[in-house]
């Protein structure tokens, strides 16, 4: 009798675990805040349930406003964005000129992979950008597109395409 009770208990635990697993196998994120991207063909999915998300404002001594965001995926991958001299909706280019300090980076700690565009590194000034298309209720929405992410290896380039909806912290 004890053996039969143990088997029933074990079966109920297995059934309970399988029923409690979510059916989010299609990687859709249903959240108010998110940053989704494809980096060199690998999907990056992050929302507010994985880590705190949002752009934080940085007021410089000269009175300019910079924005910075960091998103972490369930796999531990990291995308960071820095927008120099934020003035509202529009396109912000990475490496636009020597005065622009905007940058983007992607890190995959498990694969020891890092890709970035730091100030002055972009080769094609029109294809490396972040576009803020909408600002509503302190949420910034838009796209990110980079064709020339640079790895640690010389002449090794990658690309990133994505979209976001992130809260703008005061």
- pLDDT score, position 1: 54
φ/ψ of 155, rounded to 5, equals 60, 30
DSSP 22-68: ---TT----SSSEEEEEETTEEEEEETTTS---EEEEE-TTS-EEEE
Taking 70 as the pLDDT cut, the residues of the chain under it are 1-30, 95-97, 120-125, 152-156
Contacts of 35 (CB under 8 A, 6+ apart): 44, 46, 47, 53, 69, 71, 79, 162, 163, 164, 166
- pLDDT score, position 11: 46
Domain ranges of the chain: 32-169
pTM beyond 0.85: no
CA-closest candidate to residue 102, choices 126, 88, 121, 75: 121
- pLDDT score, position 154: 60
């Amino acid at each position: 009798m004890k053996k039969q009770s143990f088997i029933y208990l074990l079966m109920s635990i297995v059934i309970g675990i399988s029923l409690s697993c979510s059916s989010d196998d299609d990687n859709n994120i249903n959240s108010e805040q998110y940053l989704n991207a494809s980096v060199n063909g690998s999907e990056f999915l992050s929302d507010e349930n994985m880590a705190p998300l949002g752009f934080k404002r940085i007021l410089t001594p000269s009175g300019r406003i910079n924005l910075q965001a960091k998103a972490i995926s369930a796999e531990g991958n990291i995308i960071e964005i820095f927008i120099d001299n934020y003035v509202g909706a529009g396109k912000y280019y990475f490496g636009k000129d020597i005065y622009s300090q905007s940058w983007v980076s992607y890190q995959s700690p498990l694969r020891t992979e890092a890709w970035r565009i730091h100030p002055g590194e972009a080769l094609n000034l029109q294809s490396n950008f972040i576009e803020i298309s909408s600002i509503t209720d302190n949420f910034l929405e838009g796209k990110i597109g980079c064709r020339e992410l640079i790895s640690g290896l010389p002449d090794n380039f990658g690309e990133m395409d994505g979209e976001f909806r992130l809260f703008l912290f005061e």
